[in-house]
Chains A and B, each alone.
Chain A
Amino acid sequence: MSDEAKAAPALPPPAVMSRSVVALGVVALICTLALPQVSNAYVTEVATTALLYVVLCLGLNIVVGYAGLLDLGYAAFFAVGAYTTGILTAEFGFNFWLTIPVAMVAACIAGIIIGTPTLRLRSDYLAIVTLGFGEIVRIIARNLDITGGASGLVGIERPVLFGFRLFQVQHFYYAFLVLALITIFVCLSVERSRIGRAWLYVRYDEDAAAGIGINRVSVKLQAYMMGAVIASVAGCLYAAKMTAISPESFTFAQSLIILLGVVLGGMGRIPGVILGAVLVALLPEVLRGAGTYRPLVTAVALLAIMLFRPSGLWPDKRV
Chain B
Amino acid sequence: MTFDLVVQQLANGLIVGSFYALIALGYSMVFGVIKLLNFAHGDIYMTGAFVGLVVFSAVGVWLGNGWLAVVCALLASMLVVGLLGVIIERFAYRPVRNAPRLSILITALGASMVLNGGALALTGGRHFAFNTDLGYSGIDISAVHITYTQMILVASALILMGGMQTFISRTMYGKAMRAVSIDMGASRLMGIDVDRVIALTFFMGSALAAGGGVMAGAYYGSVHFFMGFIMGLKAFTAAVIGGIGSVPGAMLGGLLLGLLESFGSSLPFVGSEWRDVFVFGALILFLVFKPTGILGRSVVERV
User: Does residue B174 face the partner (Cβ distance < 8 Å to A)?
Assistant: no
Q: Is A252 an interface residue (CB 8 A)?
A: yes
Residue on A with the closest CB to B289? A117
B237 CB contacts on chain A under 8 angstroms: 132
Residue with the highest number of chain B CB atoms closer than 10 Å, among A114, A120, A292: A292
Across the interface, A139 reaches (CB within 8 A) one of B277, B287, B301, namely B277
Residues of chain B within 8 A (CB-CB) of A139 are 273-274, 276-277
**Most chain A beta-carbon neighbours within 10 Å: one of B99, B102, B237, B273:** B102
Say if the beta carbon of A64 comes within 8 Å of chain B: yes
Q: How far is the CA of A139 from the CA of B101 in the complex (A)?
A: 30
Q: Residue of B at shortest CB range from A125?
A: B287
Measured CA separation A151–B297 after assembly (Å)? 45
A1-9, A36-44, A170-178, A235-243: which lies at the interface: A1-9
Contacts of B107 in A (CB 8 A): 303, 306-307
For B302, what are the chain A residues with a Cβ–Cβ distance below 8 Å? 206-207, 210
Interface of B is mostly: helix
Closest to B91 in A: A307
Q: Is B114 an interface residue (CB 8 A)?
A: yes
Answer whether residue A143 sits at the interface, using C-beta atoms and an 8 A cutoff: yes
B35 CB within 8 Å of chain A: yes
Binds B, one of A50-58, A78-86, A293-301: A293-301
A136 within 8 A of B: yes
Does B173 belong to the interface (CB within 8 Å)? no
**Contact count band on A:** 35 or more
Q: Which among A4, A140, A292 is the interface contact of B120 at CB below 8 angstroms?
A: A292
- In Å, the complex CA distance between A294 and B229 comes to 18
Query: Do the beta carbons of A122 and B114 come within 8 Å of each other?
Result: no
Shortest CB distance B93–A (Å): 10
Cβ–Cβ < 8 Å partners of B103 in chain A = 306, 310
Partner of A123, one of B116, B277, B303: B303
Say whether B121 faces chain A, with CB atoms less than 8 Å apart: yes
Q: Are B300 and A121 within 8 A (Cβ)?
A: yes
Interface hits, A230-282 → B, CB 8 Å: 252, 256, 259, 263, 267
**In whole angstroms, how far apart are the Cα atoms of A122 and B230 in the complex?**
22
By CB atoms of chain A within 10 A, which of B98, B105, B277 has the most? B105
Contact of B284 among A64, A117, A310 (CB under 8 A): A117
Contact of A295 among B35, B96, B120, B288 (CB under 8 A): B120
- Chain B residues lying within 8 Å of A223, measured Cβ to Cβ, are none
For the complex formed, measure the closest distance between the CB of A301 and the CB atoms of chain B, giving whole angstroms.
9
Q: Does B59 contact A (CB under 8 A)?
A: no
Rounded to whole Å, the gap between the CB of B198 and the closest CB of chain A is 14
Most buried by A among B101, B111, B233: B101
A7 touches B37 (CB 8 A): no
Judged by a CB distance under 8 angstroms, whether A90 is at the interface is no
User: Does A145 interact with chain B (Cβ within 8 Å)?
Assistant: no
A129 to B273, Cβ gap below 8 A? no
| A310 lies within 8 A of B113 (CB) | no
Chain B residues contacting A296 (CB-CB under 8 Å) are 114, 117-118, 120-121
Residues from chain B with a CB closer than 8 A to the CB of A131 are: 233
Tell me how far the C-beta of B257 lies from the nearest C-beta in chain A, rounded to whole angstroms.
13
Chain B neighbourhood of A307, CB < 8 A: 92, 95-96, 107
Within 8 A of B (CB), among A129-160: 129, 131-133, 135-136, 139-140, 142-143
Residues B37 and A292 in contact, CB atoms below 8 Å apart:
no
- Given A117-B287, A121-B291, A299-B114, do A136 and B121 touch, yes or no (CB 8 Å)? no
Q: Do residues A129 and B284 form an inter-chain contact, with CB atoms below 8 A?
A: yes
Asked if A306 and B110 sit within 8 Å, CB to CB, the answer is yes
Cβ of B125 under 8 Å from chain A: yes
Of residues 53 to 107 in B, which have CB atoms within 8 Å of A's CB atoms? Answer: 92, 95-96, 98-103, 105-107
Q: Return A258 CB to nearest CB of chain B, in Å.
A: 13
Cβ contact of A259, chosen from B37, B106, B230, B279, cutoff 8 A: B106
Does B283 interact with chain A (Cβ within 8 Å)? yes
- For the A-B complex with A70-B105, A299-B110, A310-B103 known, give 4 more contacts whose Cβ atoms are closer than 8 Å: A3-B101, A125-B291, A127-B39, A293-B117
> Can you give 16 contacting A-B residue pairs, CB < 8 Å?
A1-B35, A72-B109, A125-B287, A129-B287, A131-B233, A132-B284, A139-B274, A210-B302, A256-B109, A292-B124, A292-B125, A294-B117, A299-B118, A302-B109, A303-B111, A306-B103
